[in-house]
Structure 1
Amino acid sequence: MTRRRPIIAVCGLACETSAFTPARTSAAAFHPRRGRDAIALYRFLDAGTPLAIAADWYGALIGRALPGGMVTRAAYEELADEMVCLLEAIVAEHSLDGLWFDIHGAMVVEGLDDAELDLLQRIRAVIGPNVLVSASMDLHGNVSRELAHMLDLVTCFRMAPHEDELATKQRACENLVKCIRAPRDVPQRPFKAWIPVPVLLPGEQTSTRDEPARSIYGSIADVEALPGILDVGVWVGYAWADAPRNRAAVLVTGWNRASVAAGAERLARQFWAARADFHFVAPTGSLDECLDAAFAASSSERPYFVSDSGDNPTAGGSGDVTWGLTRLLERREIIERRAGVIIYASIPGPEAVRKAVAAGVGSTVTVTAGAAVDDLHAGPITLTGAVFSVKHGDQHARTEVVLRVLESVYVILTELRKPYHYERDFTDLGLQPRQADVVLVKIGYLEPELYDMAAAWMLALTPGGVDQDLKRLGHTRIRRPMFPFDTDFGDKPPDLSARLIPLSTEPLSGPDE
């Protein structure tokens, strides 16, 4: 008798969310995709691929928003309700074997402490307890004990920057198919060992390019080699969401209970032992200190990149904090026009963009932009300059304008906020970052193309919703003690023993850890 192909549903909402910015994230920001359009997001599910041959995949709703401020409750309810309705239609038509839950893990919704858990509870109410659920997550997500319980399988990225994003999602699907198609004498649901690690650090101190994160994530392969291990996840956690689940965590799954527990404990101990060794991925300083270094750099150190890190839109910043640009334009080197070619990316200003577009390339305009959302650190900025270029149709920015200010400072204005991670983000606007003297970009660690391009680099510790100085932000709801908020754990070191999480079909009991 031929065994039928497994039927698997796909859904998820992803948004890395700062609780320290006044920005809010709407439903439209998720650019929701449904049905076949959702499945088309993943090339490893294209017709003819091994996973497409192994199972039938049905999309419900996938939504991905740029990192930003808290998701409004109305937006979440709208998307969650639609997702549930679409899942109900799939379940009514098919006998579901599995569900792939594609999430980030650091989504904060107004009024919810654990949004991914809440969403999964709603999904479980539709698909029932017997359907296997596999999640893929960002390593900057947060894994609560309750979320670990309700999931059967979970994995996360192992690289920061996230060059393995698609590989991780594919692995989550492969693990799901493997468990669904397991021989009768092998349990479909593996053991799960979860360990919270009381460390909360920004991604700019935990990049896997550098030690000690490189070695910690490098040890995953050794744990995976233990007998009976299916998957290994190490989460750094997300530092800018102020909730009890925010912290590092380790979760190992597999069919050998002893290996699962031992592997999780090994990685948790390694993470904890290295807590004081984490450091920023680049030299740091105030913005003025970074600009001092950049302006004094030799020709061999150019382009000199400076990260305006406190308002990084890909970590959850609003993107419209004007503090960095204001300070830049106040510099004597800029005023005296002896700083060389400077590129600044970027400041949102819909009205400024409209006015510049109407004036046309080559025209001189005076426009005001920024601080429409986050004016906690500086007010709107007024710029006078020549319209250098205009580009329409960007997925995030919609329309982009480059304004040439003080002859050699090129400021990118956007209709909506946008991250600038790729060389084409600049060259499509007629800018040549490789020939620039200094490039200031709202980012934390440089993404691979910019990292390779930069002859020198500093990370400016600037204010904003994702301020790298975590203590300056004022967390009130994280569990304490927590490193580096607390450094003296006294005679009570953290409990890094493995918590064996019950199967998702069994009740979760005991104290919440």
Structure 2
Amino acid sequence: MSANKPVIAICGLACETSTFTPSRTDAAAFHPQRGEEIIARYPFLEPSTKLGSSASWRGILTGHALPGGVVTREAFESLSNEISHGLRDLGAAGTRVDGLWLDIHGAMCVEGMDDCEAELLRRVRHAVGPDTIISASMDLHGNVSRELAHGLDLVTCYRMAPHEDELETKERACRNLVEWLLARRKGRRNEMLRRPYKAWVPVPILLPGEQTSTRDQPAKRIYAAVPEVEAVDGVLDAAVWVGYAWADEPRNRAAVVVTGWDKDATAEGAERLARLFWDARAEFKFVAPTGSFGECLDTALSSCSRPYFISDSGDNPTAGGSGDVTWGLTQLLARPEFKDPAGPTVIYASVPGPQAIQTAVEAGVGATVTVTAGAEVDNIHAGPITMTGRVHAIKHGDRHAVVEVVLQVGSVFTILTKLRKPYHRERDFTELDLNPRAADIVIVKIGYLEPELYDMAADWMLALTPGGVDQDLERLGHKRIRRPMWPFDKIFEKQPDLSARLLPSSNLRLSGPDG
């Protein structure tokens, strides 16, 4: 180890990608950060904090792309090669990398490649060598293959959906790594001189996040058991992954990984969590009442609850949807209830339309324009939509959208964007001179409502709309996932094997199947 503080490198690529949308994700979408930019991103790594001051942190490259379509091979090769070269450069400069934090999501798909996170890990391991301790943090909607679990030394994931504990999880991954490195250096606890046991259990369940929110049962009690397992003597970390439902790869399924110094406690903890998950499989339900888009609109109009939120879930850009499906907006504007500007106030977020944006910006606020938007990428379900309306607001400079325009068509205030954007916060609307709290209906391309929207909604429904992240999984047509798999298969000829697979840490690629 280094003479003073342990040296810890930081790298990773994160993107949640649907294989059921025609869109593609390029390198620029990851907004890659390097060096001190990475350190500054995380408050817990500030030098004034205990964790930040305990090690010498070296940012290599991290990239976090808005969920979307499959990542191009060119983008993956470009970014992963930069990571590999950056890590090798540290070694060439005489810096030994004692530890590495791998900041990933777990549901990234790359053209022509299965299990790209395991491939990224393989490249990272090759660059730093077998002695570097690697700790990964992940989204609970990621996938943990046997190969990924095998190649990591430490791994953890979010315990909340919505992900209110994202920073807490990343900090835990770093803290576990630092504590191990420091204890090993000081010779405390003989077991820390070796690598921990990892108990991995694949669970043949594949559900959307909208049926597994930790706000509701049974996910609430399953995740409540995670800290109980972690509190057992000899256990370091416990994690449960729901898996990612909108990609079609053999690794897509739920999984449990428990790490620890006590072999039996680690295995028993993993099996307990896996059994809890499996035994609850028939209890999972959607987080809100569901219906067709038309049924949701009918319910919202007849309700006295205001604002009434509707999730246009099939094209959710934060789950991997392309964001430019026009199906929902087309249905909305066809309704007679919203033709008159004096009708029920509806906010719809959102549809990209670069040319529509340019036309509206040139015309200015207050002008009446006719524009066409949407379906430039995903035109499977509906084509581009042409609208005539009044320009209500224009905003420049958004990180995702770049430019936003609000077009009032009848009583519907439609948000158009230059590039796709998720709408999760109240300020996303108020900065566009919209007041969602005063609206009758707010329709957002989202699945479960993010915290601010959830708190704002007087009531809400989940519309089962088409798109790349369709909540009707069987309608999508998975062909490569392992079968049997709940809920695709309701009858299992034999009970799944929920015994713990104890995996050694290794820099060697597994040659056997991902069992």
**TM-score class, shorter:** over 0.9
* CA offset digits 1:217-262 (Å, max 9, x no partner): 0001110111111000100000001000000000000000000000
* Structure 1 partner of 2:27: 27
Q: Is the 8 A contact 1:191 1:257 kept in 2?
A: yes
Report the AA paired with residue 343 of structure 1.
Answer: I
Q: State whether structure 2 residue 425 is matched by structure 1 residue 422.
A: yes
Q: State whether structure 2 residue 445 is matched by structure 1 residue 442.
A: yes
Q: State whether structure 2 residue 461 is matched by structure 1 residue 458.
A: yes
Q: For the residues of structure 1 that align with 2:279 and 2:68, how far apart are their CA atoms?
A: 32
- Report how far residue 83 of structure 1 moved: 1.3
Report the AA paired with residue 285 of structure 1.
Answer: G
* Structure 2 partner of 1:194: 200
- Report how far residue 205 of structure 1 moved: 0.3
Q: For the residues of structure 2 that align with 1:173 and 1:205, how far apart are their CA atoms?
A: 30
Q: State whether structure 2 residue 87 is matched by structure 1 residue 69.
A: no
* Structure 2 partner of 1:377: 381
Q: Is the 8 A contact 2:39 2:59 kept in 1?
A: yes
Q: Which of 205, 209, 216 is matched with 1:210 structurally?
A: 216
Report the AA paired with residue 8 of structure 2.
Answer: I
Query: Residues 2 and 327 (structure 1 numbering): CA distance in 2 closer, same or farther, change over 3 Å?
Result: closer
* Structure 1 partner of 2:497: 495
Matching of residues 292-331 of structure 1 within 5 Å: 292-298=298-304, 301-331=305-335
Report the AA paired with residue 46 of structure 1.
Answer: E
Q: Is the 8 A contact 1:179 1:189 kept in 2?
A: no
- Report how far residue 511 of structure 1 moved: 4.4
Q: For the residues of structure 1 that align with 2:287 and 2:514, how far apart are their CA atoms?
A: 34
- Report how far residue 4 of structure 1 moved: 2.1
Q: For the residues of structure 2 that align with 1:512 and 1:433, how far apart are their CA atoms?
A: 47
Matching of residues 38-437 of structure 1 within 5 Å: 38-93=38-93, 94-183=95-184, 184=187, 185-187=190-192, 188-298=194-304, 301-335=305-339, 339-406=343-410, 408-437=411-440
Q: For the residues of structure 1 that align with 2:295 and 2:249, how far apart are their CA atoms?
A: 33
- Report how far residue 82 of structure 1 moved: 1.2
Q: For the residues of structure 2 that align with 1:158 and 1:417, how far apart are their CA atoms?
A: 28
More off after superposition, 338-347 vs 60-69: 338-347
- Report how far residue 383 of structure 1 moved: 0.8
Report the AA paired with residue 355 of structure 1.
Answer: T
Q: Is the 8 A contact 2:151 2:508 kept in 1?
A: no
Q: Is the 8 A contact 1:244 1:478 kept in 2?
A: yes
Q: Is the 8 A contact 1:295 1:339 kept in 2?
A: no
Q: For the residues of structure 2 that align with 1:326 and 1:506, how far apart are their CA atoms?
A: 52
Task: List alignment gaps of at least 5 residues for structure 1.
Answer: none
- Report how far residue 508 of structure 1 moved: 4.4
Task: List alignment gaps of at least 5 residues for structure 2.
Answer: none
SS at match of 2:460: strand
- Report how far residue 433 of structure 1 moved: 0.1
Q: For the residues of structure 2 that align with 1:142 and 1:398, how far apart are their CA atoms?
A: 31
Q: For the residues of structure 2 that align with 1:192 and 1:216, how far apart are their CA atoms?
A: 20
Report the AA paired with residue 226 of structure 1.
Answer: V
- Report how far residue 442 of structure 1 moved: 0.2
Q: For the residues of structure 2 that align with 1:95 and 1:296, how far apart are their CA atoms?
A: 66
SS at match of 1:242: coil
- Report how far residue 507 of structure 1 moved: 7.0
- Report how far residue 506 of structure 1 moved: 6.5
- Report how far residue 17 of structure 1 moved: 0.2
* CA offset digits 1:357-394 (Å, max 9, x no partner): 00000000000000000000000000111110000000
SS at match of 1:100: strand
Q: For the residues of structure 2 that align with 1:489 and 1:181, how far apart are their CA atoms?
A: 47
- Report how far residue 186 of structure 1 moved: 2.6
SS at match of 2:479: coil
User: Which consecutive segments of 4 or more residues in structure 1 shift more than 6 A?
Assistant: none
Query: Residues 221 and 469 (structure 1 numbering): CA distance in 2 closer, same or farther, change over 3 Å?
Result: same
RMSD: 1.3
Query: Residues 2 and 461 (structure 1 numbering): CA distance in 2 closer, same or farther, change over 3 Å?
Result: closer
- Report how far residue 264 of structure 1 moved: 0.2
Q: For the residues of structure 2 that align with 1:241 and 1:61, how far apart are their CA atoms?
A: 26
Report the AA paired with residue 129 of structure 2.
Answer: G
Q: For the residues of structure 1 that align with 2:343 and 2:259, how far apart are their CA atoms?
A: 55
Q: Is the 8 A contact 1:502 1:508 kept in 2?
A: no
* CA offset digits 1:188-227 (Å, max 9, x no partner): 4110000000000000000000000000000011101111
Query: Residues 2 and 383 (structure 1 numbering): CA distance in 2 closer, same or farther, change over 3 Å?
Result: closer
SS at match of 1:218: helix
* Structure 1 partner of 2:514: 512
Q: Is the 8 A contact 2:122 2:509 kept in 1?
A: no
Aligned length: 509
Query: Residues 120 and 338 (structure 1 numbering): CA distance in 2 closer, same or farther, change over 3 Å?
Result: same
Report the AA paired with residue 254 of structure 1.
Answer: G
Q: Is the 8 A contact 1:58 1:90 kept in 2?
A: no
More off after superposition, 101-110 vs 328-337: 328-337
Report the AA paired with residue 393 of structure 1.
Answer: G
Q: For the residues of structure 2 that align with 1:389 and 1:505, how far apart are their CA atoms?
A: 54
* CA offset digits 1:413-441 (Å, max 9, x no partner): 00000000000000000000000000000
Report the AA paired with residue 244 of structure 2.
Answer: Y
Query: Residues 361 and 506 (structure 1 numbering): CA distance in 2 closer, same or farther, change over 3 Å?
Result: closer
